[in-house]
Structure 1
Amino acid sequence: MASDGERYAFVAHWLDPHSSIIWKYQLMFFTADNSIAMYDIKNKRSFLKRTPYPSIRPEDLYIGATVTVYSRQLKVVGYDDEYTKKRLEHIQMTFALIKPDGVEKFGELLTEIYKHGFVLKRLKMCTMSPSEAREFYKPHSQEPIFEEMVLALCSGEVIGMEIIGDDATARWLKLIGPRDPGIANLEAPNSLRARFGRDKINNALYGADSKEDMERLRTLFFETPGFGKCPALQKDSTLCIIKPHAVLAGIAGEIIQHIMQSFNISGMESFNISHVDAAEFCEVYRGVVPEYTLMVQELSSGPLIGIVVSGVKNPVASSDCEGTTEAPPKTIVGIFRDFCGPADSEIAKIVRPKTLRAMFGIDKVKNAVHCTDLDEDGLLECQFFFKTHPKK
């Protein structure tokens, strides 16, 4: 995306949660060493001297992006100079949908999305009503199979996404291939519809075909109040969070694939939470674990994916207790906690090498996933993100 030694400049806003004042900054990114600097536009003074900041990468900076700098969530709202605009304006956002027949393979599909250079900005799992599906498919309303398309779209959960990449709309359409998987197998055998689709209606994926269509679909799916029904939270549920470091590393798809092989997922959505919200969520660990402050910093450092786990699909795999003599736990909270493994990934790699934290984590803070620890907290933690969280 960029060669060494370049400097990009953006306009970024920060909403002060205490005063509700929006502060405007010039955010500069230096590609030679992944360093950043900030300039306070209103007060006309330096706010942050140039400093290395490895958690921000060139691909994280685009119009509409949210990046976290020392616990401040900055929204990138524009380019600050013509050079940056000319160099980066080809970075686009597009809308992508996983249809009901493709949801079971979402982990594999998300891995393909990362593999082909896209960045996940936003996602939401929901179900559509017939009227919502007709509005979604409005450009296809004159097609003979329109009602069949609507019926298929209403047959189960869908997952909508905003993804970012070079010439994103055209590249996404090329990646998914022709609408008819039969034709896709002949013309684009490596396309996602050729590999995961069944027929012209149940072809696993959908994509916007223009900038205008992208804006229509993302506004409809993400910004329209009440659009898409999310399943009611059940008492026998537990929360999984794919942490920001894992999302940014592009391994969320692999993690989701492992979870879906053994568990039922009834809710999934991406979030960017503030330092204050992260501290509230982690309050139970304050004074209990020495890594509390670092845990809060990690959860508020970038996008995370919240998942409601609501049942066991594969008891043999999900209750694997390798390395322990304890009987398999009986509640969904305990079963999934056991599936995730010890909190410290370095320990997990030794005593429970097949668990999520052993396979995808780094240490006790960047351990890939958070899971509910106590049986009585399963529903409460799910509600924090999927019911009461103020900023989805």
Structure 2
Amino acid sequence: HIKITGYANEYTQRIMGRSMQSTIVIIKPDGRSKMGSILKMIINEGFRISELRMLKLPASLVEQFYQKKKDSLGFAALVTYMSSSPVIALELINNEGVDRMKDLCGPTDPDQARREAPASIRACFGTDEAHNAIHSSSSVEESRLERELLFGKHAPASNSSTDTAVLKHSTCCVIKPHAVRDGKLGEIIEMIEGEGYTITAMRMFRLDNINAEEFLEIYRGVLPEYTDMVSEFVNGGCVALEVVGPTKEDTPQDFRNFVGPMDPDMARQLRPNTLRARFGKNKVQNAIHVTDLPEDAPLEVEYFFKILAA
């Protein structure tokens, strides 16, 4: 990643400053079961994800969020709906990000979207104006306010009312930085959902060396790749998931089988339908970390969603 610390001239600053924009998106409760496909559409449009968090929104935050609709007829129903079950909040960055995201979402009414913008997210996944799969910022100013509410210093704390992790019959899956950077997040989630798994918690983390070493401690001295594994974990944003499978108590073992062997080349030969066969590059950049031992699953989920998220 390149960090821009200054501009050569005023023109570059004006163009760059104006064109790269952050926008806020919420995948609504009705869009959650399609989040893999929705994220894939967003990523394919060139958006980079800088923040991602699944959470239950407090009603008070929803009221602030939709402040400008507070006098409209359906306001109370909207607040109830948006605070009824988990959503996925995202900060996205792209060239002219706010307008491009609005175009990708399509008109608020999904029926209108199907007529006027049939390739838009709401045309594909929306039902009606409230259940239209997705919210996106309507202006640069609004995106700043929304970012402050969801990801700023007054963002909802991680606690029992906002957390979504169930910590039962679940396992931990971490989509590694290289796979996130390569734009594979949506496809990976789509494949996980397609296999009948439910994602019950999800958040983007940027780990430091201490966290990564602590999390991967069980591999120290066991795997020769340990040091490289730590380096990969700290090389950008990773996305941690809590996953629950259809078989409930067998989830850790079943999901590990679905992720496939640590070596993607071996996975491609022996288990071509696994996640690592499809998305892995080598033993270190193998797209996914998954809990190896079923008894470690609650500990690994808690490490991300209770300790690091606190």
Tell me the TM-score normalized by structure 1: 0.74
Contact 1:233 1:379 in 2 (8 A): no
Aligned Cα RMSD in Å? 1.9
- Separation in structure 2 between the aligned mates of residue 271 and residue 234 of structure 1, nearest angstrom: 19
List aligned pairs for 1:287-306, cutoff 5 A.
Answer: 287-306=221-240
* Structure 1 residue 296, shift from structure 2 partner: 0.5
- Equivalence for 2:118: 189
Q: Equivalent pairs: percent with the same residue?
A: 38
- Equivalence for 2:295: 376
* Of 71, 74, 88, the match for 2:16: 88
- Separation in structure 1 between the aligned mates of residue 82 and residue 162 of structure 2, nearest angstrom: 13
The structure having more radius of gyration, on CA atoms, is: 1
Deviations 1:187-223 (A, max 9, x none): 2122111111000110000011112211111111122
- Separation in structure 2 between the aligned mates of residue 363 and residue 108 of structure 1, nearest angstrom: 26
* Of 277, 294, 297, the match for 1:358: 277
- Equivalence for 2:98: 169
* Of 241, 245, 248, the match for 1:307: 241
* Structure 1 residue 362, shift from structure 2 partner: 1.0
Contact 1:238 1:379 in 2 (8 A): yes
* CA 82–385 in structure 1, closer or farther in 2 if over 3 Å, else same: farther
- Separation in structure 1 between the aligned mates of residue 126 and residue 253 of structure 2, nearest angstrom: 36
The amino acid across from 1:242 in the alignment is I
Deviations 1:43-78 (A, max 9, x none): xxxxxxxxxxxxx4xxxx4xxxxxxxxxxxxxx474
Structure having the larger proportion of residues in helix: 2
The amino acid across from 2:192 in the alignment is I
Deviations 1:5-35 (A, max 9, x none): xxxxxxxxxxxxxxxxxxxxxxxxxxxxxxx
Contact 1:95 1:218 in 2 (8 A): yes
Contact 1:180 1:203 in 2 (8 A): yes
* Structure 1 residue 82, shift from structure 2 partner: 2.9
- Equivalence for 2:6: 79
- Equivalence for 1:104: 33
- Separation in structure 1 between the aligned mates of residue 231 and residue 224 of structure 2, nearest angstrom: 13
SS in 2 for 1:388: helix
- Equivalence for 2:213: 279
- Pairing 1:237–2:170 present: yes
- Pairing 1:259–2:259 present: no
* Structure 1 residue 276, shift from structure 2 partner: 2.2
- Separation in structure 1 between the aligned mates of residue 119 and residue 293 of structure 2, nearest angstrom: 44
- Separation in structure 1 between the aligned mates of residue 168 and residue 131 of structure 2, nearest angstrom: 33
The amino acid across from 2:216 in the alignment is C
Deviations 1:266-315 (A, max 9, x none): 11000111122211211111110111111011000011000011x223x5
Larger mean Cα displacement after TM superposition, 191-200 or 122-131: 122-131
* Structure 1 residue 226, shift from structure 2 partner: 3.1
List aligned pairs for 1:16-55, cutoff 5 A.
Answer: none
What are structure 1's unaligned runs of at least 5 residues?
1-55, 62-75, 319-329
The amino acid across from 2:25 in the alignment is A
Contact 2:167 2:301 in 1 (8 A): no
- Separation in structure 2 between the aligned mates of residue 278 and residue 177 of structure 1, nearest angstrom: 40
- Equivalence for 1:226: 156
The amino acid across from 1:353 in the alignment is P
* Structure 1 residue 154, shift from structure 2 partner: 2.1
* Structure 1 residue 79, shift from structure 2 partner: 2.5
Contact 2:167 2:302 in 1 (8 A): no
Deviations 1:321-350 (A, max 9, x none): xxxxxxxxx632111111101111110001
Structure having the larger proportion of residues in strand: 1
Contact 1:343 1:364 in 2 (8 A): yes
Q: How many residues align?
A: 303
* Structure 1 residue 97, shift from structure 2 partner: 0.8
SS in 2 for 1:387: helix
